[in-house]
Chains A and B, each alone.
Chain A
Amino acid sequence: MNQELRELYQQVILDHNKSPRNFRKMENATKFAEGYNPLCGDHIDIYLLIEDGMVKDVSFKGEGCAISKASASLMTSTLKGKTVSESEKLFEKFHDLVTGKLGENPDIDELGKLAVFAGVQEFPVRVKCASLAWHTMINALHNKDEKVTTE
């Protein structure tokens, strides 16, 4: 496989695409938002259970490409147990990563497993796929009812 392609579709991403974590509807969610990418029809619902400023639980439902599904799956795994403000900071950092703003040697410690999305910056048309779940999560946190679209 081509190198760029291999970096985009890392094993971790393929694995999360095949068996997404936290892929369920959450009945007792305190926050919810719907995300939609009109370009490809991807659709992701994000559920959050926030208690005392902490993400007690987070899950998602929907359909999308491997990048958007793996991104949602890894996001939910990462956010569990984080505070709301930590989650918002992580969104910024993730967004900088996939849009290539972190430069040559990104400080990836903070990103942990999310660093597998570094390959996305070489594929500008796929940035929206990687960030759909994150934008939707932020909207859910801010109680924005209207559908998130990536357009």
Chain B
Amino acid sequence: MKAEAETVIAVSKNKYNVNKIREDFPILKKKVHDKNLVYLDNAATTQKPTYVIDKVNKYYTTMNANIHRGVHALSQEATEAFEAARIQIKQFINALGKNQIIFTRGTTEAINLVASSYGRANIKEGDEIIISHMEHHSNIVPWQLLCKEKNAKLRVIPVNDNGELIYEEFEKMVNERTKFISIVYVSNSLGTINPIKELISYAHQFNIPVLVDAAQAVNHIRVDVQDLDCDFLAFSGHKIYGPTGIGALYGKVELLESMPPYMGGGDMISKVTFEETTYNELPHKFEAGTPDIAGAIGLGAAIEYVNKVGIENIKEHEHSLLEYATKQIAEVPGLKIIGTAKEKTSVLSFVLENIHPHDIGTFLDFEGVAIRTGHHCTQPLMQRFKIPATSRASFAMYNTKEEVDVLVYGLKKIIEVFG
């Protein structure tokens, strides 16, 4: 296949060739304000390799049709490609069956699906749901809505000054009223990797199901749902070099089967009369309507690409970037890193004395550097650290030490201007 042949995968056993990898990402050649683009906003979304772009393009140019419906050749081809993507995901997170992988629009929709379907059916007045202080708004608001509707209580695991969960507090919080735990694997604002496996194992002693928000995890570390023994796991395609608007929910079969449908419509039914409807089997029961077929195929391709580079190689490369950046950035006067957990992915959140993140963002933009500034959709976490916002640089497989140098140079220049 053309796309495959043209894709340069640049990893041999011992040598990670970041320059070769960069060639796979066409956008990295772009100039911003006449400077080379230095894209350090990967926790918001990652760039896409040619391999993914070509697969999406190929779908529309050679096989576009609706899936699971037609008897014609195109429909069968499209269905096969779509279902092959599901298998890619299944293997990637080591699920037992492909019927456990439900396509969603992203992590947010996956969490909402569980909160609406499982939550409405199982949470009762007086029950408690546990989340943490470092959740993204998408793992706070769905549970808040559910708690409001059911008169249940939302409980929050606190975070220490390094941005780590205070695990002992979690164990103390669990009681006979605890009916669900929804927790982030890796913090989008701080990069903290949470002790998810330990937490799940504790929760299971009391038969409490756990949902893992893995949006910031799957692209940085190996995620194995059987090893974790999580009950649900959610992630988004666009954070792992795939398209936006597509993601997946993994769930244990017995839970998914016991849950009522989330949305009604086509594809999720096996028989409809005006008196009664029988629902389709898993995973289709939760996939009403025509999905983002091209997006799913793109996500499958992104996973293939990540597999070829190797998640362990990516992890190692990103870790060395994080170490380098943490050291270099410490030289910037008045800079404070927010999030200094022992276990971290490649996220560097920081504040500069007397200079607002928004101003930093605008200045860096003129150096070609794209970072995120703001509350990162984690307002409670910002309140915890008594700051309105941070600047966040987040690194991906294609970033380099030279790019870190551009960031640090830019920060030093801002300080000169602001005096």
Contact = CB atoms under 8 A, between A and B. Distances in A.
Interface in A56-83: 63-67, 69
A74 B157 CA distance: 43
Q: Is the interface of B mostly helix, strand, loop or mixed?
A: mixed
A141 B362 CA distance: 32
A40 B388 contact: yes
Contacts of B389: 40-41
A61 B12 CA distance: 58
Interface of A: 1-2, 4-5, 8-9, 14, 17-18, 39-43, 63-67, 69, 123, 126, 129
A5 B366 contact: yes
21 contacts: A1-B366, A1-B417, A5-B362, A8-B362, A9-B417, A14-B419, A17-B418, A39-B374, A40-B357, A41-B388, A42-B388, A43-B388, A63-B356, A63-B388, A64-B358, A65-B358, A66-B418, A67-B359, A69-B356, A126-B358, A129-B358
A133 to B, nearest CB: 14
B132 to A, nearest CB: 21
A40 B418 contact: no
A40 to B, nearest CB: 5
Contacts of B355: 66
Nearest to A129: B358
A108 B366 CA distance: 28
Which 6 A-B residue pairs are closest in the complex by CB-CB distance?
A41-B388, A65-B356, A65-B358, A66-B359, A41-B389, A2-B366
Most buried by B among A9, A40, A129: A40
A66 B356 contact: yes
Contacts of B363: 5
Contacts of B66: none
Contacts of B418: 14, 17-18, 66
B419 A18 contact: yes
Contact of A41 (B374, B417, B419): B374
Contacts of A1: 366, 417
A6 to B, nearest CB: 9
Contacts of B419: 14, 18
A1 B416 CA distance: 11
Given A40-B389, A63-B388, A64-B356, A14 B417 contact: yes
B48 interface: no
Contact of B382 (A41, A63, A67): A41
B373 A40 contact: yes
B328 interface: no
